[in-house]
Amino acid sequence: MSELTITGEIDPFLHVSLQKGESILAESNAMVMMEETLTLDGTLGNQGILGSLVRRFANEESIFQQKITAQNGPGDLLLAAPFPGGMHLLEIGERQFFLTDGAFLASTEGVVVKSVTQSLGNALFGGTGGFLIQKTEGRGKLAVAAFGSVFLLDVKPGQPLTIDNEHIVAWESTLEYEVSTPNSGRGFLGGLLSAATSGESLVLRFTGQGQILLASRNKKTLVAWLAQNLPTPSGGS
């Protein structure tokens, strides 16, 4: 049976051990090292051409993925995420998850990641993938990558949580979520004003029971910080 292990605490590798005949799907360019018994091919994944095109244009994922197979015997490989940060392994089966853009790193056979629709309000304001968002199906293991450290939260009935959507990596499908504003005690319009002045944008409010994976870093905040602090190239001939 395929074994997935996260190796290292800072910017870790995903160490995968495959038995002969087993294979794993990984995001494009994720492979760092593999043994000679393994083969690597480009694939449209398990969604076909239409699903792959949807994944590319709606969720900013690659059209093609890597399929690594232990064709000539058992072997090991190392995978890495395209950005610095942590990883987390999800057991898919009894629990299914929604994934944000860029969270998928790799999955074992039996796990399918499909694009599904979400509500109009969440699509326009939630920042979680537009009208289409990724959801897991099947059984197996799935590795997700986070920008920064990973933190696991448990949402309990009657104890809703408000989370900045730019820090969300994945959440359990049993949870309900809706777009909201940081609680300012001044209603929705007051919340919008508070969001504009406090630096916190629209957020997601989760209710029900299930798990949420968070990342400590925010890609959009980093891009904005770089734009403000990097020197501007000087003109001239």
Q: What is the average pLDDT across 82-86? A: 94
Q: Domains of the chain: which residue ranges?
A: 3-223
CB 99 within 8 A of CB 113: yes
**Beta strands 39-43 and 104-108: pairing type?**
unpaired
Q: Is residue 172 pLDDT above 50, yes or no? A: yes
Q: Is residue 78 pLDDT above 70, yes or no? A: yes
Q: Which of 104-108, 113-117, 151-155 has the lowest mean pLDDT?
A: 113-117
Q: How deeply is 85 buried, as exposed, middle or buried, from its count of CB atoms within 10 A (0-12, 13-18, 19+)?
A: buried
Q: Is residue 224 pLDDT above 50, yes or no? A: yes
Q: Mean pLDDT, the chain, as a whole number? A: 83
Q: Which of 21-25, 98-102, 103-107, 136-140 has the lowest mean pLDDT?
A: 98-102
The architecture of the domain spanning 3-223 is 4-Layer Sandwich (3.60)
* pLDDT top residue among 27 and 49: 27
- Which has the closest alpha carbon to 175: 213, 121, 217? 213
In this prediction, residue 60 carries a pLDDT of 53
What's the pLDDT band for 115 if we cut at 50, 70, 90?
Answer: confident
Distance CA 63, CA 44 (A): 6
CB 18 within 8 A of CB 75: yes
Which structure tokens are listed for 105?
Answer: 């790193």
Q: Cα(first)–Cα(last) distance of the chain, in Å? A: 61
Q: Is residue 81 pLDDT above 80, yes or no? A: yes
* pLDDT top residue among 181 and 65: 65
CB 171 within 8 A of CB 149: no
In this prediction, residue 132 carries a pLDDT of 73
In this prediction, residue 197 carries a pLDDT of 44
Q: What is the average pLDDT across 85-93? A: 97
- Starting at the edge strand that comes first in sequence, how are the strands of the sheet with 65-69 ordered? 39-43, 65-69, 23-26, 104-108, 140-145, 87-92
Q: How far is CA 189 from the centre of its chain?
A: 31
Distance CA 153, CA 185 (A): 25
- Go through the chain and tell me how many residues it has: 237
Distance CA 203, CA 122 (A): 10
Distance CA 66, CA 24 (A): 8
* pLDDT tens digit sequence for 42-66: 887 665 555 545 554 444 556 688 9
In this prediction, residue 165 carries a pLDDT of 85
* pLDDT top residue among 121 and 41: 41
Q: What is the average pLDDT across 80-84? A: 94
What's the pLDDT band for 122 if we cut at 50, 70, 90?
Answer: low
* pLDDT tens digit sequence for 123-171: 544 455 555 788 999 999 999 999 999 999 999 999 999 998 889 999 9
Which structure tokens are listed for 53?
Answer: 């095109």
> To the nearest whole percent, how much of the chain has pLDDT over 70?
76
Q: What is the average pLDDT across 200-210? A: 84
